[in-house]
């Protein structure tokens, strides 16, 4: 019976792996909105301003995605750390 428990605990340890848990992703450098020259007028200016607005929308989307991923990585790190601690306790308790 204990051999089966030991085998399951070894398998759990292999599944969890070893080493440090991942750290959260670094904050991306996305740049800031550019201010077009006040003296620039015409079709090119309008298109450039539209592209600037589109880039701001994309930056906002990327910031939101980064925040979501950072939260998930932080949660996964905590879960992994807790699992290692609990598995160590279970292994110590079976000896």
Q: How far apart are CA 43 and CA 76, in angstroms?
A: 49
Residues, the chain, total?
95
12 found inside a domain: no
Domains contained in the chain, number: 1
10 found inside a domain: no
60 found inside a domain: yes
* Segment 38-83, tens digit of pLDDT: 899 999 999 999 999 999 999 999 999 999 999 998 898 889 889 9
Q: Which domain holds residue 78?
A: 44-95
Contacts for 12 with CB less than 8 Å, ≥ 6 apart: 87
* 1 band by pLDDT with thresholds 50, 70 and 90: confident
Task: Look at residue 49 in the predicted model and tell me its pLDDT.
Answer: 92
2 found inside a domain: no
Given a cut of 80, is residue 21 above it in pLDDT? no
Which among 21, 14, 49 has a CA at the least distance from the CA of 34? 49
9 found inside a domain: no
Task: Look at residue 67 in the predicted model and tell me its pLDDT.
Answer: 92
Given a cut of 80, is residue 17 above it in pLDDT? yes
Q: How far apart are CA 5 and CA 24, in angstroms?
A: 34
The DSSP element (H or E) to which 42 belongs, if any, is none
């Amino acid at each position: 019976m204990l051999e089966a428990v030991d085998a399951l605990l070894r398998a759990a340890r292999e599944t969890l792996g070893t080493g440090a848990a991942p750290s959260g992703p670094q904050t991306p450098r996305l740049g800031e909105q550019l201010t077009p020259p006040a003296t620039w007028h015409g079709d090119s200016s309008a298109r450039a301003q539209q592209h600037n607005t589109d880039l701001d929308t994309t930056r906002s989307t990327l910031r939101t995605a980064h925040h979501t991923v950072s939260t998930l990585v932080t949660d996964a790190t905590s879960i992994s750390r807790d699992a290692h601690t609990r598995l160590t306790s279970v292994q110590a308790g079976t000896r």
